[in-house]
Amino acid sequence: MILMEHIIREGHPTLRTRAEEVTFPLSAEDRQLADDMLQYLINSQDPEIAEKYNLRGGIGLAANQVNSLKRMFALHLEDENGELLSFVAVNPKIVSHSVEQTYITSGEGCLSVDRAVPGYVYRYARITVKFMTVDGEEKKMRLSGLPAIAFQHELDHLNGVMFYDRIDEKDPFIQLENSIPFGRD
């Protein structure tokens, strides 16, 4: 079971290292890691379990964050239609994206960052993605809204990129053209 003490925090070199492609069939160890990452998210969103184990709530978790350099991450969240998206993406890629960008008005957070970092993190508003499931099945998906944002945040982790790398240093709340805000605060 993944606990907060297993999640590495900013400053750890693994968060700045590009993760490596996973080979199929998945090793028992890789599959366990995939299951554990998704389970962490599910547990962290369950008020009783989260309180019992002191888990910070999350919608996404990348392997880098548990100190493993494998190209996989878990997502567990609802889309704007209330549809549950819950999966582990192995060797994920963005195959196409909108020109339009989006950003969470209250900024992004990360389980590996124990502080609020103010500023807008611009992401593609809509993306088409491909990835492998843990069973070696290829998936293609169109994402928008929060799932699109979360997918890009996690994919960044696999490339050693932190969300705040994308905040404009001089003008953290810069308003870019051709962008739509997500959420309100």
Q: Which residues bind Ni ion (CB under 5 A)?
A: 110
**C-beta closer to Ni ion: residue 26 or 110:** 110
Least separation in angstroms between residue 112's CB and Ni ion is 6
DSSP letter string, 5-70: GGS--TT-GGGGSPPBPPPSSPPHHHHHHHHHHHHHHHHHTSHHHHHHHTPPP-SEEEGGGGT--B
Nearest CB to Ni ion, comparing residues 110 and 155: 110
Instruction: Give least dist CB 141 to Ni ion, A.
Output: 20
Choice between 77 and 110, CB closer to Ni ion: 110
What does the block give as tokens for 164?
A: 């705040």
Query: Does 48 qualify as catalytic in the annotation?
Result: no
CB of 80 to Ni ion, least distance (A): 21
Q: Which of 100, 108, 154, 169 is the catalytic position?
A: 154
**Residues known to be catalytic:** 154
